[in-house]
């Protein structure tokens, strides 16, 4: 789900995580290992937050470690397999069942019952986001939802104004209008975004996942990718032979497309990366109402092997509820999950205001639904979906072959 660039630990003076699942000292001081994925900017913000925590809890020290998204999970998987997972770590919905099945995650409900972790004061029911089969395996730190990031200048010149409830037909007509009037593709190409396809399926009464497998058929995916291949060929979707070399720059900021689907809190990167004005547009619908959307979230989880579950819970509680942490983190981890942090940070920049307004509109319009459960292996399914969609778009695999290969890989991942 939230993938951002990583950076150097040395540049920040961070202490690398040591061995073991937490440690203690002769004077009663406890050391917790805390690991996450993200950029150097996120690391600086988290370091500032940790300094506040250690001031309030002088007997708890935090050792930190961070990497880019893919590297984080590679290292975490190795640590978890060796019984050496960090005491506290950043987590996401696609990994809860996977690592619960591997007996890695601490059920935090006991610590909540003991008063070390507050589960009240969350926005929009987010406190339930980390629940799996009655266990509390993660606590949300921020929320986000799928949105369409648009180049506002391109949309204005093309005479396109997306509004809540617009349909997929209207969306594709808008892309064609952009292509014809602005000389660039309408969209970067949404066909490989698992979380967007999930919304499309939910609009049709299905979902990407059930609790144990895939919630759609080969016929469904064949229809999705056949239409995508035709739109790439027509130029309504951007040419992947141009967008792939442009990475890590977005196809929108590289001026190869007028819009693309992503998580709403990622909107910050476009202003920093591009030359135009960028905004958030609503998800297209099938019936003018149902978007299939839910609030997603980054979470904090704890290791089942931690020697200090109380202190781990206290640290999570602080990072989730403390108002000063909310001010420091801003929207880096999404819109703050708790009312205390949401109220403490009021964005002054245009992009931040748009993100806040977008999520407020989602809540007030009552389009939000419960998130689809993610079975163990969901992360492998997402990687395969992106890879095969790209191969299909490049013409390296016929649609039928890409679909068949996807179901083969997904079924293997979900049964292992």
pLDDT of residue 24: 66
Closest to 145 in 3D by CA, of 352, 293, 35, 321: 293
57-99 pLDDT, tens digit per residue, is 999 999 999 998 888 999 999 999 999 999 999 999 889 999 9
Q: Report, in angstroms and rounded to the nearest whole number, the Rg of the chain calculated over CA atoms.
A: 22
244-289 pLDDT, tens digit per residue, is 999 889 999 999 999 999 999 888 888 888 999 999 999 999 999 9
CA 182/CA 165 separation, integer angstroms: 25
CA 129/CA 337 separation, integer angstroms: 10
Banded model confidence at residue 9, pLDDT cuts 50, 70, 90: very low
The secondary element (H helix, E strand) that includes residue 242 is helix 240-246
Question: Quick check: 280 and 361 in contact, CB under 8 A?
Answer: no
Residues forming a β-bridge with 149 = 260, 280
Q: Where are the beta strands (DSSP E) in 39-145?
A: 60-67, 88-91, 131-132, 135-136, 139-144
199-224 pLDDT, tens digit per residue, is 999 999 999 999 779 999 999 999 99
Question: Quick check: 137 and 414 in contact, CB under 8 A?
Answer: no
Distances in Å between the Cα of 258 and the Cα atoms of 204, 276, 384 are 27, 11, 26
98-152 pLDDT, tens digit per residue, is 999 999 999 999 999 999 999 999 998 899 889 998 999 999 999 999 999 999 9
pLDDT of residue 26: 67
Q: Are strands 146-151 and 278-281 parallel, antiparallel or unpaired?
A: antiparallel
Banded model confidence at residue 6, pLDDT cuts 50, 70, 90: very low
* 3-state SS class at 320: helix
- Greatest CA span in the chain, whole angstroms? 72
pLDDT beyond 60 at 301: yes
pLDDT of residue 272: 82
Angle between helices 194-203 and 218-234 (to 10 degrees): 120
pLDDT beyond 90 at 389: yes
pLDDT beyond 70 at 11: no
The secondary element (H helix, E strand) that includes residue 304 is none
pLDDT of residue 15: 33
The secondary element (H helix, E strand) that includes residue 279 is strand 278-281
The model's pTM: 0.82
N residues, the chain: 416
Domains defined for the chain, CATH in brackets? 10-143+296-345 (3.40.190.10), 146-293+370-415 (3.40.190.10)
Which of 169-173, 303-307, 348-352 is the least confident region? 348-352
What average pLDDT does range 403-410 have in this prediction? 98
């Amino acid at each position: 789900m939230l993938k951002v660039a990583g950076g150097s630990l040395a540049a920040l003076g961070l202490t690398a995580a040591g061995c073991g699942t937490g440690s203690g000292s002769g004077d009663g001081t406890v050391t917790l290992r805390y690991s996450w994925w993200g950029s150097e900017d996120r690391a600086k913000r988290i370091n500032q937050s940790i300094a506040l925590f250690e001031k309030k809890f002088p007997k708890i020290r935090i050792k930190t470690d961070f990497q880019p998204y893919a590297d984080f999970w590679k290292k975490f998987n190795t640590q978890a397999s060796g019984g050496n997972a960090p005491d506290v770590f950043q987590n996401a919905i696609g990994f809860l069942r996977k690592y619960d099945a591997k007996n890695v995650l601490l059920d935090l409900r006991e610590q909540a019952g003991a008063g070390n972790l507050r589960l009240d004061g969350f926005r929009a029911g987010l406190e339930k986001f980390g629940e799996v089969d009655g266990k509390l395996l993660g606590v949300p730190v921020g929320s986000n939802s799928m949105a369409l990031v648009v180049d506002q200048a391109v949309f204005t010149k093309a005479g396109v104004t997306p509004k809540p409830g617009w349909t997929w037909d209207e969306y594709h007509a808008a892309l064609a209008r952009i292509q014809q009037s602005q000389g660039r593709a309408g969209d970067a190409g949404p066909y490989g975004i698992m979380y967007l396809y999930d919304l499309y399926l939910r609009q049709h009464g299905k979902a990407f996942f059930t609790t144990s497998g895939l919630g759609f058929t080969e016929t469904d995916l064949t229809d999705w990718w056949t239409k995508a291949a035709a739109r790439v060929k027509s130029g309504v979707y951007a040419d992947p032979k141009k967008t792939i070399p442009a990475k890590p720059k977005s196809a929108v900021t590289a001026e190869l497309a007028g819009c693309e689907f992503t998580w709403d809190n990622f909107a910050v990167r476009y202003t920093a990366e591009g030359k135009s004005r960028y905004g958030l547009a609503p998800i297209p619908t099938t019936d003018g109402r149902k978007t299939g959307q839910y609030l997603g979230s980054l979470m904090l989880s704890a290791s089942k092997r931690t020697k200090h579950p109380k202190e781990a819970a206290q640290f999570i509680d602080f990072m989730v509820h403390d108002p000063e942490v909310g001010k420091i983190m801003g929207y880096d981890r999404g819109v703050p999950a708790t009312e205390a942090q949401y109220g403490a940070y009021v964005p002054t920049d245009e992009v931040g205001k748009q993100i806040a307004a977008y999520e407020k509109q989602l809540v007030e319009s009552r389009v939000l639904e419960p998130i689809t459960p993610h079975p163990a292996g969901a992360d492998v399914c997402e990687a395969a979906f992106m890879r095969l969609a790209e191969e299909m778009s490049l013409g390296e695999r016929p649609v039928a072959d890409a679909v068949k290969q996807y179901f083969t890989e997904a079924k293997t991942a979900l049964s292992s």
